[in-house]
Structure 1
Amino acid sequence: MRTFISHASKLLSTSKTLTRSMSQSTSIPRKQTRVRDHGYDDYMEVEKKVRKVLKFQDLILSQPTNMISVSRLDSLSRRIGFKQFESGRFILKFPHVFEVFEHPVQRILYCRLTRKALSQMGQENEAMLRQVPDAVTRLRKLLMLSNTGRVRLEHVRIARREFGLPDDFEYSVILKYPEYFRLFDADETRNKYIEMVEKDCGLGVCEIERVREREYREKGYDAEDIRFSFIVNFPPGFKIGKYYKIAVWKWQRLPYWSPYEDVSGYDLRSLEAQRRMEKRAVAMIHELVSLTVEKKITLERIAHFRMVMDLPKKLKEFLLQHQGIFYISTRGNHGKLHTVFLREAYKKGELVEPNELYLARRKLAELVLISPRKARLDKELVSYRRRGDEDDHMNGVERNYSDDDFEVKGNVESDTESGEESDGDSAYSDTGDISD
């Protein structure tokens, strides 16, 4: 009897193994461990500093004179999460963005933005104004992605920076183009909504469809193989087994409905229809991230559009199933912030197809990454040149230099330059090539 039971248990375990293997060969496993990609994480480490710098810039520019005393800045910065005396140490880390000076009358320390920071802000504002027509198109496509043709105004306002919309987009974009948008208050919720006036079928082409067409024309892939496929680049160290490869191959050839297509008339009760809807959700998130300026958006802001776009409830687990298409970075806010990148849009920490607004924003990151030692050296060189000009205008005075002075200055300059390069490399290190 015991022998029969043991034999039956072995058969049962064998059948479970076969069933598990067959299930892995027909669908992508739902639970996947997240594999880190250091190229994206290093990118977010720089973004973390940039976000803090932007908060301080808003505090300074909110003052009538565009400058603020250091003591008042310290008290205001506590509202945005900084501790006491932490703001002073923070602004000193970025001398190419913030300038600390002594007020000529009050004799206390003040802070204002440098000329380089003001110039960068001007370039970004000009770039944003020039790309307003593109932002209008992105907003129209965003409304077409929703199943009702409308989205909440507050959700768009929260993500306005990602979609390249100006701060006053309610007036400069929505009310300015009444032929495209309609703004109204919902009676049941008292929330403001943006609604599209008329659906434009010419805008109903997804970004992944354009990529497929380009791949077909340039590389000559088989049309049947890439008809419903996505570009997949797994992160370094991601383990791909035999059954996983088969599941991905089958998933790539699975037909699905376009995110811009109305699926209300289809019968979605069958297993095949549910699989198509799951792949449609991947295409929906892919198109949503593609509409952003920097091809990245936080997971929390994607969740704002979950109901109107029929996205799964557990978005993080859903995206982890497709780590070859998206990457989720937890850097930037003590692991509480999840940033979703479109893997195919980045290569070695840079956008493959950069736009003007993205390049203007990256200039602020460049100012943030400049070493404070470089800033101190620049001030020394400026003061040195001024003293030299004054000495040149003095008649009868001869300048004498020693060899030691040149040696010291040469060492300082070489150390500073090497320090600056090391800061840039560490911030944008490409430990794992994000194109692989």
Structure 2
Amino acid sequence: MKILRRLLVVGSGRSTSKSAISFGPFNFATQTRWMKPANTAQTRLENRTRDLKLDRLTANRRRLNLILNLHRLVSARKRGPFVAIQSLSKLAPQAGIKTLPAGAFIRKYPHIFEVFTHPAYHNRCFRFTQKFIALIREEEVMIAQLEQDSVTRIKKLLLMSVNGTLHLHSLRLIRDELGFPENFRESIIRKYNTDFKMVDLEVVELAVKDCERPYMAAKVEKWREKEYKEKWLSEFEVKYAFPINFPTGFKKEAGFKEKLNNWQRMSYVKPYEKTNIVNVRSCGGVERYEKRAVGIIHELLSLTVEKMVRVERLAHFRKDLGIEVNIRELLLNHPGIFYISTKGDSQMVYLREAYSSKGCLVEPNRIYNARRMLLEVLLMGSRNTRGLNLEREVQEKQTVIVKENENKSSMVDGDFVIPILEKC
């Protein structure tokens, strides 16, 4: 009885606390159910092996997109390509700038923003530097020059589609990723009317169907051919394989290598082949259907300029390309092929084989190089680089030469001038 009283006293003393007694003389026979750890796409996304290089690239790209959004808003103003700093607080949320005050955001990037005093209103304003504007113009010129590449990308996407049609809304969402001009509907689709035909206001198809299908090959086929010739691998090992590149620190469970080898050898309907009805109930039907979806997403990412795209925008291609699966779960199931970065307010998927260990493209293109220059200007921050120092030295030399010429022209024969500021 004394022992029971002591237990009751301890229980009454702890009754005020939030946590109850786990075990005691009155509940020792109660069965406790232990929940299994959840294995969902969200938990796998949180517990995945991180790639710090690609995460850092995602954060930098997000900051650059905020600045480009602000540039579009400022350029569209009728008064001129400048904004008063007082009214910037109203314009910044429209561009997505919410983490920093508008003034601090401008002071953070002096190589992009230039602060000046308005000559008429005498208030402080800002505008974009000529160097930054020149880089944006250079990217636009590159996109216009590579118009034929955009035509080829649209053809490949149409050949991958189930019915040979695509919605323009889906293409418009990844226009920047594919390197299309802003008015690609008029400048590309309607211009090349011998290649494309508008079925509806927002649906496009090939003018002549399946004429180029035998000549189209996926990007991964070049890698397979290289592996077959250089590494002397058998066709059985390479014909349906994908390049695998796991991030540093990736843990492989028991039997993982055998499952991966079996998946690499498994056949599937390739992206540019005519889709046949896949019997899901047959042996490996679900796996073959998912592997075809992996091949389509792999080819779609290969067609982009920077080999990356937002995950939520891939969902708009599910019906047209025949990948009606949980896309995020599919990407997480193949960490050696894709990588999802969650830095910022959106999830970006990268093609792992396209990036080196330094976070740069292995095979850069002209549009990527132009965008990389914009990113380098952003990463300068408030640092005073040698390039800017050279520009200032040239400007100072020019001003000195102009002053010397003015002094020589103002001097008359017989005048005596004492150079007071010569040593200053």
**Normalised by the size of structure 2, how large is the TM-score?**
0.80
- Deviations, residues 232-252 of structure 1 (Å, cap 9, x unaligned): 010111101330011101111
SS at match of 1:271: coil
More deviation, 386-395/236-245:
386-395
Which residue does 1:136 correspond to in 2?
Answer: 151
Report the alpha carbon displacement of residue 93 of structure 1 after superposing the two structures with TM: 1.4
1:243 maps to 2:255: yes
Which residue does 1:301 correspond to in 2?
Answer: 313
Q: CA RMSD in A?
A: 2.5
- Aligned equivalents of 1:303 and 1:154: distance in 2? 12
Distance 1:84 1:70, change over 3 A: farther
Contact 2:309 2:350 in 1 (8 A): yes
Q: Of 325, 335, 342, which residue of structure 2 is paired with 1:330?
A: 342
- Aligned equivalents of 2:328 and 2:304: distance in 1? 19
Contact 2:169 2:202 in 1 (8 A): yes
Which residue does 1:414 correspond to in 2?
Answer: none
Which residue does 2:64 correspond to in 1?
Answer: 50
Q: Of 356, 366, 390, which residue of structure 2 is paired with 1:356?
A: 366
Matches within 5 A, 1:71-150: 71-83=86-98, 86-150=101-165
Matches within 5 A, 1:18-417: 33-64=47-78, 65-83=80-98, 86-185=101-200, 192-197=202-207, 198-199=209-210, 200-333=212-345, 337-347=346-356, 348-374=358-384, 378=389, 385=397, 388-389=400-401, 396-397=418-419, 399-400=422-423
Distance 1:98 1:389, change over 3 A: same
SS at match of 1:304: helix
Which runs of 5 or more structure 2 residues have no equivalent in the other structure?
Answer: 1-42, 408-416
Contact 2:290 2:330 in 1 (8 A): no
SS at match of 1:39: helix
Report the alpha carbon displacement of residue 106 of structure 1 after superposing the two structures with TM: 1.2
Distance 1:272 1:137, change over 3 A: same
Identity rate, percent: 36
Residue type of the alignment partner of 2:189: I
- Aligned equivalents of 2:181 and 2:191: distance in 1? 13
Report the alpha carbon displacement of residue 121 of structure 1 after superposing the two structures with TM: 1.2
User: For this pair of structures, how many residues does the alignment match?
Assistant: 364
Report the alpha carbon displacement of residue 306 of structure 1 after superposing the two structures with TM: 1.1
SS at match of 1:100: strand
Residue type of the alignment partner of 2:422: R
Contact 2:164 2:206 in 1 (8 A): yes
Residue type of the alignment partner of 2:198: L
Residue type of the alignment partner of 1:47: R
Contact 1:96 1:375 in 2 (8 A): no
- Deviations, residues 164-204 of structure 1 (Å, cap 9, x unaligned): 1100001001100112212233xxxxx62122222222453
Report the alpha carbon displacement of residue 79 of structure 1 after superposing the two structures with TM: 2.5
Contact 1:298 1:339 in 2 (8 A): yes
More deviation, 285-294/196-205:
196-205
Contact 2:159 2:213 in 1 (8 A): no
- Aligned equivalents of 1:332 and 1:130: distance in 2? 32
Residue type of the alignment partner of 1:204: M
Higher relative CO (CA 8 A, sep ≥ 6), structure 1 or 2?
1
Which runs of 5 or more structure 1 residues have no equivalent in the other structure?
Answer: 1-29, 186-190, 402-436
SS at match of 1:328: strand
Report the alpha carbon displacement of residue 355 of structure 1 after superposing the two structures with TM: 0.4
Report the alpha carbon displacement of residue 389 of structure 1 after superposing the two structures with TM: 4.6
- Aligned equivalents of 1:267 and 1:319: distance in 2? 23
Residue type of the alignment partner of 1:153: L
Residue type of the alignment partner of 2:95: I
Flag the structure with larger Rg: 2
- Aligned equivalents of 2:313 and 2:255: distance in 1? 34
**Normalised by the size of structure 1, how large is the TM-score?**
0.78
Report the alpha carbon displacement of residue 341 of structure 1 after superposing the two structures with TM: 0.5
- Deviations, residues 290-317 of structure 1 (Å, cap 9, x unaligned): 1101111110111110122222432212
SS at match of 1:111: strand
Contact 1:78 1:84 in 2 (8 A): no
Contact 1:326 1:342 in 2 (8 A): yes
Report the alpha carbon displacement of residue 262 of structure 1 after superposing the two structures with TM: 2.2
